[in-house]
A = this chain, B = another copy of it.
Amino acid sequence: MTSLGPPDDTGRSLDPHLRRYAARAAGMTASEVRALFSVASRPEVVSLAGGMPNLTALPLDSLSTEIAGLVSGEGLVALQYGSAHGLPELRDQICEVMGLEEVHGHPDDVVVTVGSQMALDMVTRIFCDPGDVVLAEGPSYVGALGTFAAYQADVVHVGMDADGLVPDALREALAACERAGRRVKFLYTIPNFQNPAGVTLAVPRRAEILEICAAHRVLVVEDNPYGLLGFDGQTYPALRSMDADNVVYLGSFSKTFAAGLRVGWALAPHAVREKLMLAAESATLCPPTLNQMIVSRYLATHDWKGQIKSFQQTYRERRDAMLAALEQHFPPGCTWTVPAGGFFVWVTVPEGVDTKAMLPRAVTARVAYVSGTGFYADGLGSRQMRLSFCYPTPERITEGVRRLAAVLSDELDLARTFGPTSQRIGSGPQVPAPDTA
């Protein structure tokens, strides 16, 4: 059988399928975060780049025993297809988990998904036509930007400050879209310990944000993977708890239990839930049954709230190590956010330094981060970077920040000598830079 010749008439393409792809495939490019992973995973590199949760505190032996019991005792269910809706007992337990953030949902309105990433993909699938606008914080989660691009939705960023999304910026963004005749489908927001900025939406702003969206008839998609990881055990009322009809809530066990099981969910208004389930069925038929049973059994038999407390403590120690190292080592002119939970610190460097251009030099100095440009759909972020404190030990974090500070100082010296003069803008804890609007 002879192979197909290149449909590309020029005959010069390396990919003979080039002209066959859907228009949406043009938006599918390797994220900066992903391109980094292969380099940053070398053991000598301190990776402040990834968002991998720390699992060392998990009770692997008792989990092993429980899972063995599931397979030997209920294997004919655990290894069989299930429904696209998800296991009823797990959906009950998910409602209990959401109750910790004041959400009172009905288990019928929960759809279990392959991680909350799939829930976000399904929400985008049912709501977004090509050219529709999604509003999102600037900066926003890189995986969400990838999903929106895959559905050819355009992201319009909305500015944040130390109290999260700025209501006036939201009003302005909506007004600008309306003036331009653009159809805004939803606001995508991570209200708690935001990825990547590390800030949290102040409680008084929550009702205001919801009112603005309701008045403009724009749905709210609330992504809340970190809400239970407040370092002092504090939680905030979810947006969904204040407006059950206009919020689709996305939750995940990836940060509070085990990312590798890929169990997440959406809680949606009833009519939307039906569409989500149909979309999910055509995407994967059903989420893995065994994984759902493992999460359900874990919630039923383990002190999962105690485990979350242990995670909070681990991450607080690491955040503290990172903030202390930043204070000690980072050159003047740098600013950063002070997260009260979650995984990330967002750093702004002085003018004259381009974090994307600096990255190869940082990796050469055996430290990795993610350049801020990965978190914007519009090219901003070259003076920002995301530093993750979730995975390395405090000692490694300190060493990584020290290495990064040295690279940054060299960059600043170069910029002062050869490039634009860096503007001294004060140092110390700061909110996301104004250019995040």
Contact = CB atoms under 8 A, between A and B. Distances in A.
A128 B207 CA distance: 41
A418 interface: no
Contacts of A284: 114-115, 117-118, 121, 262, 284
Interface string A212-224: 0010010100000
A58 interface: yes
A311 B269 CA distance: 43
Interface string A19-32: 01111110011110
Number of copies: 2
Interface stretch (A67-75, A336-344, A351-359, A421-429): A67-75
Contacts of A242: 1
Contact of A68 (B37, B68, B121, B278): B68
Contacts of A58: 75, 79
A143 B128 CA distance: 22
Nearest to A219: B20
A71 B64 contact: yes
A82 B21 contact: no
A55 interface: yes
Interface in A357-404: none
Interface stretch (A93-101, A170-178, A189-197, A243-251): A243-251
5 A-B pairs with least C-beta separation: A15-B271, A3-B245, A260-B289, A68-B68, A79-B258
Interface of A: 1-4, 7, 14-18, 20-25, 28-31, 34, 37, 52-53, 55-56, 58, 60-61, 63-65, 67-69, 71-72, 75-84, 114-115, 117-118, 121, 125-129, 132, 143, 146-147, 149-151, 185, 207, 210-211, 214, 217, 219, 242-246, 254, 258-262, 269, 271-272, 275, 278-279, 281-291, 294
